[in-house]
Amino acid sequence: MTAKPIHPIYELTFEKTDKTDAILLIDDKKLHVNQALLSYHSDHFKALFLTKNEEMLGWELPEFKIENVKFQDFATLLSLVQHNPLKVAESNSERLLELSEKFEIPAAKRHVELFLITTQKDKMDKIRIADRYRLDDLLANGVLGFKTNIEFRNLRQNSDYKNYTDKTRVAIFHRMLDMIQY
């Protein structure tokens, strides 16, 4: 099987080194990774590597096929627990959060949360994302986006608000109470 060419940034980030001891295959593209590092950051990979390594014989690097992921998003996700992470963008931030949950990588989730806090995303968008992925600091940042009492009008009619957890609704309510005091 011949690997398809990949963008140089991914080749450099996931090139074979003396520290890599496994290969992840995504759409016939190879990511050279360190099993111990990924196992430390992810129970998913810990279980995957443990199962596969018990079956492996010989000196070849074990290969693990990862399906149903977009290569660039997956590579970016894994890079977030390495020394030189790839950049997170607003356009892929929610996909990265979804993948961080799927592959159980909380450290990557935290990187994305910190990135989202710095963006100019609308407060309701930040609150929606924070609620969905249980991101406390992003929730606090989004809630602080309410600057005036008038912004709370018609909030209950917001389609996202109806699906918020009680924790998120309470955070919004507390912000409203804080605003009343001014």
pLDDT (tens digit per residue) in 146-176: 998 888 888 988 889 989 999 999 999 999 9
Q: pLDDT by residue (tens digit) across 90-105?
A: 999 999 999 999 999 9
Structure tokens at 47: 């279980």
**pLDDT over threshold 80, residue 131:** yes
Q: What is the pTM of this model?
A: 0.86
- Structure letter (DSSP) for residue 25: E
- State the CB neighbour count (10 A cutoff) for residue 149: 11
Residue 5, pLDDT score: 56
Residue 51, pLDDT score: 76
Residue 28, pLDDT score: 86
The H-or-E segment that residue 107 falls in is helix 106-118
CA Rg value for the chain? 20
Structure tokens at 63: 């290969």
**pLDDT over threshold 80, residue 3:** no
Q: How much is the average pLDDT of 2-27? A: 83
Residue with tokens 């990135």: 115
Ordered by where they begin, the domains of the chain are 1-119 (3.30.710.10), 121-182 (no CATH)
Closest CA to 150 of 179, 122, 170: 179
Which one has a higher pLDDT value, 56 or 72?
Answer: 72
The chain-wide mean pLDDT, for the chain, equals: 90
